[in-house]
Chain A
């Protein structure tokens, strides 16, 4: 009977020790054993940062998209020479003013980087100061058209070749709509304070997102600029009879 009691006591000791140790460890009093050190640590990527971040503003050659779609137009007339601006709306189509291509013996088109573009056909609109020039060479870039005409106060960017000089980008905002003082366009036109000069005619007017909102066609005595609005351009482009082949000199 004594041996049995001792054995019972020993078991009780071990059990008690285990219970005590287990309860201490289970309650978090004892520190756990460390996890094995991983062989490699892969950090989580920081939010908002990726290798391509900020790459959207890059272009193939460092020029902005708004510059790449602008063209310089040299109108070699029978007796005189004039220059104007234009812009691409697709890979082989340019938009400019009717008066830029009028009385032309030959049109010479060059891009922002000085490349010459071979011109195919030219057609002009009867009811607006607009012309469409088809090219046989591909154009480097072309912008989107905006969804609707701009409202007064909206920012406007004009890209063209004022005075036949360097490619220039000017800023301003839409001031109002008005009747065409030159009576060259049907309906209303846009008045903006973006600076333009002779030679800017045919320049693209763009909104803050770089989308076309109009075509520069004249300058007022107050140094404001007049635009053929986008809606007129779209109506003309949608009408197959709106443009007729241009008459040379």
Chain B
């Protein structure tokens, strides 16, 4: 009896199969992990996007509201500027009118003072001319009855009347020159 030789199965022959399985398993686990991560990321980004969109809508409404307020404020500012411009022009006009009226008032006052002085001078001249006329009338009366007076007294009185009339005529000439335009 011859015993058949026992041949042991070679161990290392199965190693490539196991290694391949492990690699596949690692890839599978990694894929699952990456997929899970991507799913989580997607969900989070969707949520974030929705929140941002909601916020964007809110800000857009706020911008629209502010824009309307700005348009209103701009219109009011433009109107206020126009009113200010009108008001300053009116103030300028009123200041000028006041100044012109002040000038006219002062000029009128000066003219009134001048007229008062002229009137007073005219009254003085008229009085002097009246005295001259009275003196001459008196002199004529004296001359009609010359034999009753001393000749020297008549001459002296005549000289006095003549001097008075000369002064009156001189004052009258001055007044006429002043009144001449």
If A12-B22, A21-B37, A108-B102 are given as contacts, then 15 extra A-B residue pairs at C-beta distance below 8 Å, sorted by A number, are A13-B26, A17-B29, A20-B27, A21-B30, A21-B33, A33-B40, A34-B45, A61-B91, A62-B84, A63-B91, A76-B110, A81-B103, A111-B95, A113-B91, A167-B96
- Tell me, in angstroms, the Cα distance from A16 to B19 when the chains sit together: 13
Would A114 and B91 count as touching, CB distance under 8 A?
Answer: yes
Q: How far is the CB of B50 from chain A (nearest CB, A)?
A: 9
> CB-CB < 8 A to A108: which residues of B?
102, 106
Mark the stretch among B51-59, B133-141, B144-152, B170-178 that contacts chain A: B51-59
Q: Which residues of B contact A61 (CB under 8 A)?
A: 88, 91
Known: A17-B29, A81-B110, A114-B94. A33 touches B41 (CB 8 A): yes
Contact with B along A157-178 (1 / 0, CB 8 A): 0000100111100000000000
B residues less than 8 Å from A30 (CB atoms): 34, 37-38, 41
**Complex CA distance for A79 and B110, rounded to whole angstroms:** 7
Identify which of A16, A35, A74 contacts B103 (C-beta below 8 A).
Answer: A74
Establish whether residues B29 and A14, one from each chain, have CB atoms under 8 Å apart when the complex forms. yes
Q: How many residues of B contact A (CB 8 A)?
A: 39
Q: How far is the CA of A20 from the CA of B29 in the complex (A)?
A: 10
Contact B103 A18 (CB under 8 A): no
List the 10 closest A-B pairs by CB distance, nearest first. A114-B95, A17-B29, A16-B26, A34-B48, A20-B30, A37-B51, A17-B30, A62-B84, A62-B88, A21-B33
Say whether B33 contacts A18, CB under 8 Å: yes
In the bound complex, CA of A108 to CA of B101 (Å)? 13
Residues of B105-129 contacting chain A, CB below 8 A: 106-107, 110
B interface list, Cβ under 8 A from A: 22, 25-27, 29-30, 32-34, 37-38, 40-41, 44-45, 47-48, 51-52, 55, 59, 84-85, 87-88, 91-96, 98-100, 102-103, 106-107, 110
**Are B99 and A114 in contact (CB-based, < 8 A)?**
yes
Q: Is the CB of A165 within 8 A of B96?
A: yes
Contact of B95 among A17, A35, A112 (CB under 8 A): A112
The dominant DSSP class at the B interface is helix
Residues of B within 8 A of A110 (CB): 95, 98-99, 102
- Chain B, residue nearest A18 (CB): B33
Give Cα A13 to B24, complex, Å. 9
Cα(A13)–Cα(B97), bound, Å: 102
Give chain A's interface residues, CB within 8 Å of chain B.
9, 12-14, 16-18, 20-21, 24-25, 30-37, 41, 61-63, 72, 74, 76, 79-81, 83, 108, 110-114, 161, 164-167
The distance in angstroms between the C-alpha atoms of A74 and B99, with both chains bound, is 9
Instruction: Tell me if A34 and B44 are in contact (CB < 8 A).
Output: yes
* Chain B min CB distance to A202 (Å): 15
With beta carbons under 8 angstroms apart, the residue of A21, A33, A35, A164 that contacts B34 is A21
Q: State A13–B26 Cα separation when bound (angstroms).
A: 5
Question: CB distance B45 to A13 under 8 Å?
Answer: no
A30 vs B40: C-alpha distance when bound (angstroms): 12
Q: How far is the CA of A61 from the CA of B95 in the complex (A)?
A: 14
Write the nearest CB–CB distance from A28 to chain B, whole angstroms: 13
State in angstroms the CA–CA spacing of A80 and B37 once bound together.
Answer: 102
Q: How far is the CA of A99 from the CA of B97 in the complex (A)?
A: 25
Select the residue from A12, A20, A32, A167 with max chain B CB neighbours within 10 A.
A20
Assembled-state Cα–Cα distance A62/B80 (Å) = 11
Q: Which A residues are in CB contact (< 8 Å) with B98?
A: 110, 114
Specify the chain A residue showing the minimal Cβ separation from B32. Answer: A17
30 residue pairs A–B, Cβ–Cβ below 8 Å: A13-B25, A14-B29, A16-B26, A16-B29, A17-B26, A17-B32, A17-B33, A20-B26, A20-B27, A21-B37, A30-B34, A30-B37, A32-B41, A33-B40, A33-B41, A34-B45, A36-B48, A41-B59, A61-B88, A61-B91, A62-B88, A72-B99, A76-B110, A80-B110, A110-B102, A111-B95, A114-B94, A114-B98, A161-B99, A167-B95
